[in-house]
Amino acid sequence: MKSQLKAGAVLSYLALFISSAISIIYTPVMLKLLGQSEYGLFSLATAAVSYVGVLNFGLGNAVIKYTAKYKVLKDELDISNLNGLFCIMYGILGILALVLGAILTLNSHLIFSNSLSIAEINQLKIIMGITVINISLGIGFGFFSVISLAHEKFIFQKVLGIVSSIISPLVMLPLLLMGYGSISMAVVTAILNFITILINIFYCFKILKIKINLKKFETVLLKEILVFSFLIFLNLIIDKIYWSTDQIILGIYSGTVAVSIYTIGASFSGYFSGFSAAISNVFLSKVSGMVAKEVSDKEISDLFIRIGRLQYIVISFALSGFIVFGHEFIFLWVGKNYNDSFIIAILILVPMIVPLIQGMGGLILQAKNMQKFKTIVYATVAIANVFLSIIFVQLWGAIGAALATALAFTIGNIIIMNFYYWKKINIDIPNFWKNIICMSIPFAVSLMFRVTIINIVPAGNWSIFLIKIIIFFIIYTCILWFTGMNKYEKNIFIGLVNNIIQRYKKDRFYKVS
């Protein structure tokens, strides 16, 4: 069990690194082969159909929770009945996703006819249709991809995900080079997903040897599962509205090129979220334990500040680096046609940094079972973002969509949630911000590079660009060490370096022996 957990955690970080690396390498090649307009069309189709994906109802968490509960009881009959119930639920949701997705696809011309040509709408429908089938199969057979996690077989799922993420571009690239466009990408994605489903089914029956009983249907258990999953379902809808609606609105009012530019800019938010989650997610059990022991508000506040500082060290370095080099990176990465993507990324990332460094707040609310207010705030923010985006897109296009997202994010996720953490959860928010401001000297100084090193030595190629980043990294790290980090944070860094050195020495010892 412990080996599975450790390996699963390591593989999670590895998967994050591989997916990010593949995205950075693969995206410019794909853009060059597809063209700006067709890439925007593919992104628009994916964003439109992604709403169907929320119909998995968040059942994955329920599968893990209730399977663990029934495994403790060691009642094979009850477990097989539970598996049967989940299979039926997933199957019904898969059929529902197929029907609703088909309706959405067939009527997509009513939504996008003002900005897309007839040829683009026909191509959009084909991509949407293939993607709907793909998502519906994923939902309908979703039980088999989750049950291995419920049985704590983390290595299998993580390795399968990593292999799939590597194979996908390797199969797509030859097809794109042969002249096949975005439709082929949708087909390859669907085929790989279907193969993954078959592998999961084989693993569940042949390796895990799970049993499924479809005959007994417990109404009481069904209601309990639906209640448990409903809040997760709401959060899925809110998240989808918040992060996918801008592309739909741009598709309605501005066309595929604007969607393409916005998609590139918004993609950086995923990388930053991964940096933050890698730190905060490992503290859920610790926070839950502290809440269960009814520790003082000061102890919880101290943990909130301590982890927030660690997250800020990572996130502020990434953000300052992006502010300094992001424009050049996007130019070298995808070309001058995506200059506005840099502005879009900055508008989204700057306000986003606050909830990222306050990730512990969400874990504290979860441990205290007080997520309701956060859900209401996020829902309000998501709806406000839609209305603001409709207005701003018509005024400023893709940049207007990012501006609407930034404004809604600032009001809801920063101002309101910080006030709630302070007054309701009794977290010492003023002290938190005092710490963050004191740590911001490296961030402020680094921004001077934007008007010095960038203008003095423009990066005409990747070699010069990387040299500039290395110089920036050395200077930033030195300033951070002497002005931003406390003794606790320095000790963590020294400990990490010592661990790496010790492992290197041990590996050399074994090789020599």
Asked if 38 and 31 count as a contact pair (C-beta separation under 8 A), the reply is: no
Indicate the SS3 state at residue 425: coil
Per-residue pLDDT of the chain (513 residues; tens, 9 = 90+): 555 655 655 676 677 788 888 888 899 999 999 999 999 999 999 999 999 999 988 888 788 888 877 877 767 888 899 999 999 999 999 999 999 999 999 999 999 988 999 999 999 999 999 999 999 999 999 999 889 888 878 788 888 988 999 999 999 999 999 989 899 999 999 999 999 999 999 999 999 999 999 887 788 888 888 888 887 788 888 888 888 899 999 999 999 999 999 999 998 987 787 666 655 555 555 665 676 677 788 888 888 898 889 889 888 988 999 999 999 999 999 988 999 999 999 999 999 999 988 988 887 887 777 878 888 898 999 999 999 999 999 999 999 999 999 999 999 999 999 999 999 989 999 999 999 999 998 888 887 777 776 667 777 788 888 888 888 889 888 999 988 898 888 887 887 778 777 766 665 555 555
- Does the CA dihedral 474-475-476-477 come out positive or negative? positive
Burial class (CB in 10 A: 0-12, 13-18, 19+), 509: exposed
Q: What would the two tokens of residue 498 be?
A: 């010592």
Q: What would the two tokens of residue 388 be?
A: 């603001």
- How far is Cα of residue 226 from the mean position of the Cα atoms in its chain? 25
**Cα–Cα distance for residue pair 204/497, rounded to 1 Å:** 41
- Does the CA dihedral 468-470-471-473 come out positive or negative? positive
φ, ψ dihedrals at 292, nearest 5°: -65, -35
Q: What is the pTM of this model?
A: 0.85
Residues in the chain: 513
Q: What is the 3-state secondary structure (H, E, C) of 325-372?
A: HHHHHHHHHHCHHHHHHHHHHHHHHHHHHHHHHCHHHHHHHHHCCCCH
Count Cβ atoms below 10 Å from residue 508 Cβ, excluding itself.
Answer: 10
Q: What is the DSSP string of 112-132?
A: HTTTS-HHHHHHHHHHHHHHH
